[in-house]
Structure 1
């Protein structure tokens, strides 16, 4: 099954897109090979209670755009889906400007990882399934580790909208990079979201445009990972003991050089899962079938 990626996203950086009643998007100008056109910041609610989901990196222009978009309103909550450096560091300046409290699953779980925002400590930790309310909105956090150990999605209750952050992105698959990332957790979280069929009809991801009809997309993501696992097993069966750089070439084929390292990290995550299942084994920096 081919994944029907969506890459048409004409929103201008810093401008506001109204997606649905009570839901707006502001796009940060931090494009890159893993952020696409930039980080999506979502404004939930309006008037006397606005929640800002994923304020993005430290970026004065983006902070200004968020404050301009909510001029005359009151930001009361700052929600963080996960503590990667393109999502949570902007919370500090936004909190200083507004006095709003921060909410997340918890601080970054893996010390020393370069992509992690190790400074962020939420004012309030969000347990899964306990709704958070403000004004005319209510969101329910859904714990979805895999891309990052403290990753949350948020269901906007009563609307069919799920803020899927980086677990499910419309434009690309997610990088799963150990130790932040865990492939078994990622697949379990995919299944958790798939079990919500009938509840969620529109995904709003951390990067890329909105994703309508998300369930077939989830099926494509799961099948994509299973096929890659099969290619890893076939490569090890043919090549014997192999290091990850050689496996990347065998499993992925030609890649943009900017993506080779990330591909190796996701491949490592799948190898670790295969090792746990007794299918693969490592010898030093190389891998083989068990």
Structure 2
């Protein structure tokens, strides 16, 4: 575990979350008709315009659509424009071994970060060959250890899969399969302030037992909130910012690119 900045425990920390970029090795690779590399670049340009200083960048899974080494290299190259320390976790479309190869000799996959008066713990909920997620015993032990070792800090826990129902019937079977095991750990530690995830390609912000539960847009296609069946939304690509305050409060919001036009192509390669 490494500190990523010179912030003191009295300083707020500004985090940016990019999620579900679904990059391809090919520069013009498309997902349902959207050029995912172009949409990520537009989101990064928006972040650059709005966030002059970023203390930590979180990439919460599905960085790649095809799991290629080149797609991860491209993600790394694009996000380095933000000039901030970063951490990645895999999603169901990622190839963890290839991701590890792409990040060798870096701290990008380090799972625990102390920043300001907070600790951020990143969990791997991806299961090879599976769309739903599952936290293996090793991940739950990592979480328990991270929480136990820093009782004086406020905690943000990150993963890829949604651990609660989000109101989209088609997504219910592909969330975190052992959510009860996750909350059995979290419920034991009052210093947990928030859980953050990707995967759902839409904005979620609610509470459970005074813990904030947050999900965020994709940097490419969006999923229509409240949909019974798979449906792409008309919302533009975006990102989430989080301001972690020293007293444990969390301020957060979603920003989306403007003037973005996209015609979904359900006949192209699917999600």
For the aligned pair, the TM-score class normalised by the smaller chain equals 0.3 to 0.5
Q: TM-score, normalised by structure 1?
A: 0.38
Task: Specify which structure has the bigger relative contact order, considering alpha-carbon pairs within 8 angstroms and separated by 6 or more residues.
Answer: 2
Q: Give the structure with the larger helix fraction.
A: 1
Q: Which structure: larger Rg?
A: 1
